[in-house]
Amino acid sequence: MDKDVIVIGGGPGGYVAAIRAAQLGLKVVVIEKDKFGGTCLNRGCIPTKALYREAEILNILKNIEDYGISVDSYKINVKKIQDRKNSIVSQLVSGIEQLMKANAVEVVYGRAELIDKNTVNVAIDNEEDRSFHGKNIIIATGSCPYIPDMPGKNLEGVITSDELLEFEEVPEELVVLGGGVIGMEFAGIFSAMGSKVTVIKASANMFPEEDSDIVKRFTASVKRKGIKLFASTKIKDIYRKENKIIIEIENSKGTSTVLADKILVSKGRRPVFSGLNLDRLGIKYNKKGIEVNENYETNIEGIYAIGDVNGITLLAHAASYQGVWVAEKIAGLETPKKASPVPNCIFVFPEIASIGLSEDKAKEKGIDYNVSKFMFGANGKALTLGETEGFVKIVSKASDNTILGVHIMGPHASDLIHEGALAVSNKLNLNHIKNTIHAHPTLAEAFSEAVLGLNCEAIHIANKKRNK
């Protein structure tokens, strides 16, 4: 065999798997059809967070007088925003390429096709095809935006997140179809930039996987910020009239129309594996992705599928975790019996992050639980930041207050959630957190206080006599 591992796809699953396999002494080749970093780095996590930062600054400027500062005027320079975003992406892509060299991973740019369980053919532009033979194959080809069969899907101005990231001007009116994590992130960003934003969602719940307490408060917060929300709403028709796109909608209040300059279709993502010839090898898959077992191995021994393409958890950090898991399994290391819980972060205003069991799920499962919340309005650091909206919510096992879930809406939720991740993953209880000193003044104190509230021991907020 030429290689120990053939990795198809250089996204956050593929390149991490390749590096870890190389660290363990395996001979590795990565086949990438475009750029390293996949959707996350090039068309997702990183570019959207660059724009999120722009929006964050704009939100501060809108309330700058609250800080005792006067700013006469400011304006948005879209070209500079795009240049900054693209520079960050280029720097990170280059960094991954350097990591490939540093770890002696062979890189081939082209389109991969499975020939048999040990052979991959690579079509390379303007060059002869190359074939690689390997003991193991890791498929890490990611996902792409999904546009369902819907009225007006082919109209000019009806776009996905890929196209919206490359905006050349801020749309006067932006309509988001679908909401959800991606849709609401863009809604917050463009609202801060001055767009009149409307979100139209077929279902009633904006974030079905999040704790309903978080969803309820965030929905109210979004409306206060001027974003229009239409939940449980059906699209009747979409068409252009003069320079505008017209969306006809229907819900319990009747029918009405919404105007748009751009429509972001945010209806989820679909796995990318066309052209790999899975059927030739008999690899099983469904509309959600390639089917795998607990070790992310397909029904064909030695062929694995990690990240978005297996449809388990469509998050970059989950893909990276799976990549390390598979690389270590291939190398003969003992892998955990069960995957770690995956934290979820939603970059909206304010941020949302969660891990583990929600209160809704605890009720549904009939678990005897305690719950506690600590509001950021009672946290000194949040007050100094001027970001007091939101709370930390803890769900624990009633018998011993082992932490089952952590749910945060508020400043730097995406950073704070990792203390929750450590607690949930390692089955820590109230006493473990109580005996860990939290620095003052920090946002992390809100986590500590929320945990202490499980036993009515919180200091900086009135404790309830009962936790639920």
User: What is the Cα–Cα distance from 383 to 390, expressed in whole angstroms?
Assistant: 12
Whether residue 440 lies in the annotated active site: yes
User: What is the Cα–Cα distance from 395 to 210, expressed in whole angstroms?
Assistant: 13
Question: Residue 66 corresponds to which amino acid?
Answer: D
Q: What is the dihedral of CA 18, 19, 25, 31, to 10 degrees?
A: 30
User: What is the Cα–Cα distance from 113 to 136, expressed in whole angstroms?
Assistant: 15
What's the length of the chain?
468
User: What is the Cα–Cα distance from 33 to 80, expressed in whole angstroms?
Assistant: 29
Residue among 161, 163, 175, 165 at smallest CA distance from 261: 175
Considering 317, 407, 418, 440, which one is annotated as catalytic? Answer: 440
Provide the annotated active-site residues: 440
